[in-house]
Structure 1
């Protein structure tokens, strides 16, 4: 009897062994049928788990007979399930196609490198701020994009006026004039407009912000020494899209914005309309504004025409008008009298007309024409002084993208005309200036292997710039190279560098602080030149099914030669000249991202910047530039339900122009948003610990009649609270 039982058990065990199956799974991207590595495959209701290799294959052993459900998961893709009945006939792998998620993390397409590749296949290091984060920052400051940039690693928003809040941006410690600001590839925000540019770009119509750090003149010509920030607008889809935001803050700001878009087979449209109202705000009760009284509005319609499957025509016109007045609160409310006279007023009008024509000459080949006309007028006034100027800019670019088996080729040419004219000034002192640029460029992106990708570019620019004092023509050869190498599924590295240049300008952060008063026209000032590059290492992994970890370590170096410096003569007049002493900026950025179950997200970024100008006396550190900055953000999100965020930022000590060193400081913020179908409500507490400069020392010095102002290195307005409602259709 015992022998019979042993025999029966043995037979059952053998049967059980033979009832186990080994199956091969091949996972591909549904869109382009490329194999996907690192994909997790689970057998439902078991502990069986496997991951695909570099060829997209996974072998799952010892799977029992019968009906089995496979669960396929990969970050940035929709979860896929597949029902199988085992055993299955044949030895071929079971092929599974998975679709990218709408908010995929890997397949972000970038346009600033002109190739429109996915970010993971682009050798040039491009950072992106995506729609989800843009919407979060827009809750904090719906009127403009300053908050989006202020809270990005390696970027600083530098306030240039204590009373009117004008600001510019710095990348890697370099002055704002070295960063090229673009909207859909158009450079409409430089030179005379730079002091107010980021305050006049609303975030409501943006789909993505792309940032290239380091010399980028090969891509975009003059002014891209420190980098490029490209604000990408949303394009219409067949499903109608309507966005409405209403916001109110405790510091007297009211915002209203509407964005709508839709298309059909032949035609589409988008429309952005925003209006912002700010009351004069004096937080420290010193009778001078920390936030100016201001009103502005923007209207930006676009018409999209699709004559056929190959052609897209986009016609747009953006108009913005604003008025800002800061200074003595008594003057703003009641007008000047014998004891109260100081004010600073800015009136601006900007109109940008654009035309884009895209024609597909092949499945992936593209002929592109872009042209724009930009008009910007600004009136600056303080007591007993007024500065009026108009800037005209005409830009035309034609390029051709040819896609071959293992490479992309781009050839292009552009023409740029920029003219500034000062009104109400004697001809000898007028700051009038004209520059004309003709450029040719070429770029090759080569897929040497699946792991190694190389991008090389070359631009030649012929630039003529002149005024009544002098006329100069220069030619610039601008090479650039970038490389991407993937060591494996977890490790990758990018390295790149190039040359850059910047034509002379009177409109800098320093001259903005004194409203260009007593500033002489340019005379024999030559263009600045630069070289530099970046290198990074990126590590990404998953832990189990719940954790995604990504860490990026980047190093940067830029050197500017022949840099222009602001000097003062014996008569008290300011003027620019070139110096042979270099400006150098070097340092590193560390970014870490931790995502748990796609609901909890922790972001951490640290920037170390060592920026020095050899021409500065005594202390050569660039003024108003902290060596260390740390940004932390913890976010909890249930899609289309609730968002909660907590942020903290540390800013290190900075040198002022008087050689004093500031205190370091922390600031913290909190935001929450709750969706109710198409509606959502949001609240935001920005800088709720009330970090502000006047807590250390008065910003305004002297009398009400003749005040002077300290350099701005901290918040001036202190804590702010705001809330509002959003509607999405």
Structure 2
């Protein structure tokens, strides 16, 4: 099957000649010539003309959040309504992304449409995606299986890279934080008539940081670097080919501060070390034809190697992922049709000598169709259907499944100021040993999967979007969204009497429902106020007492006030409230606020920024010790808020 898709990639080069227009909208920044297209729906429509509900984080906001956390995309997502970045380890800082209260494994993470961040790599994925080369982040909440297949139950987050322009683009960033973090990054791009390139390189160095003086690190000592070149070939006949390779290497060492500093002894033995290598090679080909149609081919091969060490235990493994997708896009008057198929092979190979072999292979072949139709001026509909043929196996069992996944979305243009979107569909997630819970104990004493089946979902979202002008100087927009997801065959962790663990399906369903409210208020494009509120009501029938899912606050509030004078300065104040959460041991946490402030001053092509994140010093140690027990046998609590406390960072940026 792999050879077939690779052969197709070569043959596609022969298809060249003709052209087609796409619908595009300019970004809000006047100094940015690039155009914004909604990539995740593959219809090249503007966001206002797309029935599927897509939230976008555009270049200006990415730039602001990058000042706060230049090393990865965690801050971009942490402060978005309805999304939580959940830290899973006190010593390694591993994290996952939750949408609408569901575990991180139900969120499909993409980079330029490529799904290379799942399974064994999931807990470290967002820590290894630098924001420096991003131009847009697209978020689809709710089931999105038509185009993206398995894993897109809670939603999809697609990180879109910048593309080259004819004008030379050069960005350089340096940053230092009071926690001992040093960042350096370079992004460059250029386009000619037949060729273009983008190049990104980042280096991050974090010293071990112990904020509470208990001799255990809240932030691990870490070093990582990323190199990501992409080559763009603009072929004759309106055809384009893109070759890319992203390489990341990271080392993270947390635990006893004396151990980290080299004073290793019987009294200071505890450590947790993660060494990772990730390499992803991508190929994209697009050919447009005169009859408003295009042929698209995408293929990627990704390797993720991870080594985990804690006292008396090592775990090593390699995850290989091969992905290919071939699709045909045909535009008619008021209609767009997409037909396609893809093949995904995901294989984990364990290389450490442990009692239980976690090797697993998953193969998925799928075909899909999506039809978008502008039925009338006031109504647009998008219908999709997908059939996946899945096989997963290890040494203990072999199982095949077929999934039939319909999805539909409606856009109602009620008036120029009022619109509504309603959509729903089915989804699934194939079994994996690598979940948020198993990551917390580094997969020690975890038995291999046996007799488990895929998790299945039914979900829906509905929203109202209102926009208006208040006089000549004020713009107001309000979005009210409701969501519902039901999970069946949910896979849960079970502890056995011999202190081993296994993953098993439960016959009890899991529910997540609630709503999100987003308000945006703009005065003369100078003062911007953003307010968001998320209410999440979760229920897992297999849990005791109130049956709430762990680490899901019922209420979250996001507030941001930004003042900006283009080319001169930018300043912002942010406030975030998180309601109480229930832990896995069924205890309740405290609610908390966190406040932040940022300012950036521009001097031509240079700018200097200062960021005070969480300056009220909210951290878990304020409520209860994160580490208990002895230095020889430490016990770590579940992480439910900041562990590092107040963070102050500052840096310099240069843009050509």
Shorter-normalised TM range: over 0.9
TM-score by length of 2: 0.95
The aligned runs of 1:19-168 (5 Å cut-off) are: 108-168=36-96
The answer on 1:201 being equivalent to 2:129 is yes
Residue 175 of structure 1 corresponds to: 103
Deviation at 1:335, TM superposition (A): 4.0
Deviation at 1:109, TM superposition (A): 2.2
2:391 to 453, 464, 489: 464
Residue 226 of structure 1 corresponds to: 154
Q: Kindly tell me the number of residue pairs found equivalent between the two proteins.
A: 636
Change beyond 3 A, Cα 1:407–1:345: same
2:597 to 663, 667, 670: 670
- Higher relative contact order, structure no. (Cα contacts within 8 Å, ≥ 6 residues apart): 2
Deviation at 1:359, TM superposition (A): 0.3
Deviation at 1:197, TM superposition (A): 0.3
1:476 to 403, 417, 420: 403
Deviation at 1:307, TM superposition (A): 1.6
Deviation at 1:222, TM superposition (A): 0.4
TM-score by length of 1: 0.86
Residue 361 of structure 1 corresponds to: 289
1:416 to 344, 363, 370: 344
The answer on 1:187 being equivalent to 2:133 is no
Task: Note if contact 1:236-1:269 (Cα within 8 Å) is conserved in structure 2.
Answer: yes
The answer on 1:497 being equivalent to 2:424 is yes
**1:448 alignment partner, SS class:** strand
Task: Note if contact 1:167-1:198 (Cα within 8 Å) is conserved in structure 2.
Answer: yes
Residue 65 of structure 1 corresponds to: none
Residue 51 of structure 1 corresponds to: none
Residue 565 of structure 1 corresponds to: 492
Task: Note if contact 2:23-2:46 (Cα within 8 Å) is conserved in structure 1.
Answer: no
Deviation at 1:619, TM superposition (A): 3.0
1:123-176 deviation line (CA, Å, top 9, x unaligned): 000000000000000000000000000000000000000111110010000000
**2:306 alignment partner, SS class:** strand
Larger Cα Rg: Structure 1 or Structure 2?
A: 1
Task: Note if contact 1:299-1:319 (Cα within 8 Å) is conserved in structure 2.
Answer: yes
Task: Note if contact 1:619-1:659 (Cα within 8 Å) is conserved in structure 2.
Answer: no
Unaligned ranges ≥5, structure 2:
1-20
Task: Note if contact 2:22-2:44 (Cα within 8 Å) is conserved in structure 1.
Answer: no
The answer on 1:576 being equivalent to 2:487 is no
Q: Distance in 1 between matches of 2:148 and 2:417?
A: 32
2:464 to 530, 534, 537: 537
2:272 to 326, 341, 344: 344
Change beyond 3 A, Cα 1:157–1:464: same
The answer on 1:332 being equivalent to 2:260 is yes
Task: Note if contact 1:331-1:343 (Cα within 8 Å) is conserved in structure 2.
Answer: yes
**2:125 alignment partner, SS class:** helix
Deviation at 1:324, TM superposition (A): 0.3
Residue 552 of structure 2 corresponds to: 625
Change beyond 3 A, Cα 1:420–1:76: closer
Q: Distance in 1 between matches of 2:401 and 2:411?
A: 33
Divergent runs of 4+, >4 A? 31-34, 75-78, 100-105
1:244-290 deviation line (CA, Å, top 9, x unaligned): 00000111000000000001000010000000000000000000000
Q: Distance in 2 between matches of 1:450 and 1:353?
A: 43
Residue 191 of structure 2 corresponds to: 263
Residue 686 of structure 1 corresponds to: 613
Residue 292 of structure 1 corresponds to: 220
Q: Distance in 2 between matches of 1:476 and 1:345?
A: 39
Q: Distance in 1 between matches of 2:585 and 2:196?
A: 55
1:77-133 deviation line (CA, Å, top 9, x unaligned): 99xxxxxxxxxxxxxxxxxxxxx967799x952110111210000000000000000
Greater mean alpha carbon deviation, residues 633-642 or residues 262-271 = 633-642
Q: Distance in 2 between matches of 1:208 and 1:359?
A: 23
Unaligned ranges ≥5, structure 1:
1-30, 35-74, 79-99
Q: Distance in 2 between matches of 1:638 and 1:556?
A: 37
Change beyond 3 A, Cα 1:625–1:330: same
1:370 to 298, 304, 307: 298
Residue 305 of structure 1 corresponds to: 233
Q: Distance in 2 between matches of 1:557 and 1:516?
A: 32
1:388-434 deviation line (CA, Å, top 9, x unaligned): 010000000000110000100000000000000001226x7210000
Deviation at 1:660, TM superposition (A): 1.2
